Amino acid sequence: MSEKRKIVILGSNSFSGADFIDLLLDDKRNEVVGISRSPEKSDLFLPYRRRTGVNFAFHQLDLNHNSPEIFELLDSIEPDYMVNFAAQSEVGPSWEYPEHWFQTNCVALARLVNHLRKREYLCRYLHISSPEVYGACVGTVREDAPLNPSTPYAASKAAADLLLFTYHKQLGFPLLMVRATNVYGAGQQLFKIIPRSAVYLKMDRTIELHGGGVAVKSYIHIRDVSRGELAVLEDGEPGRIYHLSPDKGIAVRDVVRLICELSGKRFEEATLSVDERPGQDAAYVIDSSRARSELDWSPNIRIKEGLSGVIDWVDNNFDRIQTQSLEYIHKP
């Protein structure tokens, strides 16, 4: 067997972080450490917890409030790789508490990177950014598109990205960056439109479509994104951004329509159009040819298959899901 690899995942309780850990644990070379500010969730949301005998350790530490403890832990582990999923990531609430988004996404990140750049153990640092930094998009967007954020969340992510590239350019920080489009899959936060739609249909509740659901998104299954992130971590070129996206976009209302069809419900009876949220971008179609050509990556899970998986997850875990909050709860 090849040499062991020490990998730290910041934001391990997040939907994307948890799936990435689950993928990493397929490879017995990987010694994985997860760090999140909240207690470790159940296996309803953390697929890796369904495994036994894996090389994984979890630490509940908050990047905003426990940075000295995190730095001490990192220096004791001396990881080869780090992947940072940790962020305030919801768009709408960022209008109410923009300072919380900048604190986590920029200030805490600055402390982290300034610590890491003085250490010699880290070979690669993968940062999970967001296409939201591009703002409203027309046509297909490549990695060199200008930053044009239209929400406080997007502005905080753009600022973080600029900071990281400054450290890479000036000090050689081993940065890699991923911007993936609208991820979804079983185990996603229940307030997100895809799992929420499946849950609401089970409850006979009306699904509200902001702006009628005409905004075009590029929904991509979480496992396809995790595979792409791993390819970037292992083989990406430092200092580069890699997009991960499906072949084409789809309107939110058409995704909900598919969920209704797969659940045996009538779309017209199950949905209601409501006002659009501020700063909603009209389209999310980004070009992922760099990852496809350089890393031989492409998405494998078609939207219908992925949505069926979410519906099955809701059906099989409905008793447990009913005990969970279906609304976003902001934590500063």
Q: Where are the alpha helices (DSSP H) in 173-317?
A: 193-203, 222-235, 252-262, 267-270, 289-295, 303-316
Short-list 275, 300, 274, CA closest to 185: 300
> Quick one: average pLDDT of 233-250?
96
Query: Who's near 323: CB < 8 A, 6+ residues apart?
Result: none
The highest-level CATH class for domain 187-217+248-321 is alpha beta
Is residue 9 a contact partner of residue 33, using CB atoms and an 8 Å limit?
yes
pTM of the model: 0.95
Q: What is the pLDDT of residues 197-220, one digit of tens each?
A: 999 999 999 999 988 998 888 999
pLDDT score, position 262: 98
Is residue 4 a contact partner of residue 29, using CB atoms and an 8 Å limit?
yes
CB atoms within 10 A of CB 136: 12
Q: What is the pLDDT of residues 86-128, one digit of tens each?
A: 999 888 889 999 999 999 999 999 999 999 999 999 999 999 9
pLDDT score, position 3: 86
> Quick one: average pLDDT of 51-66?
96
- The two tokens of residue 320 are 């447990």
Query: Who's near 287: CB < 8 A, 6+ residues apart?
Result: 140, 141, 142, 143, 243, 245
Lookup result for tokens 């006979």: 204
pLDDT score, position 324: 93
Asked whether this chain's domains 5-183+222-244 and 187-217+248-321 adopt the same fold, the reply is no
Q: What is the pLDDT of residues 6-16, one digit of tens each?
A: 999 999 999 99
pLDDT score, position 91: 86
Q: What is the pLDDT of residues 269-317, one digit of tens each?
A: 999 998 776 655 556 579 999 999 999 999 999 999 999 999 999 999 9
Torsional sign, CA 326, 65, 116, 152: positive
Check whether domain 5-183+222-244 has CATH 3.40.50.720, yes or no: yes
Compute the distance between CA of residue 165 and CA of residue 266 in angstroms, rounded to an integer: 48
pLDDT score, position 127: 98
Short-list 1, 11, 32, 93, CA closest to 332: 93
Domains of the chain by residue range = 5-183+222-244, 187-217+248-321
Q: Between 328 and 233, name the one with better pLDDT.
A: 233
DSSP 107-172: IHHHHHHHHHTT-S---EEEEE--GGGG-S--S-B-TTPPP---SHHHHHHHHHHHHHHHHHHHH-
pLDDT score, position 277: 64
Residue 80 pLDDT greater than 90, yes or no: yes
Residue 1 pLDDT greater than 80, yes or no: no
> Quick one: average pLDDT of 241-259?
95
Report the mean per-residue pLDDT for the chain.
94
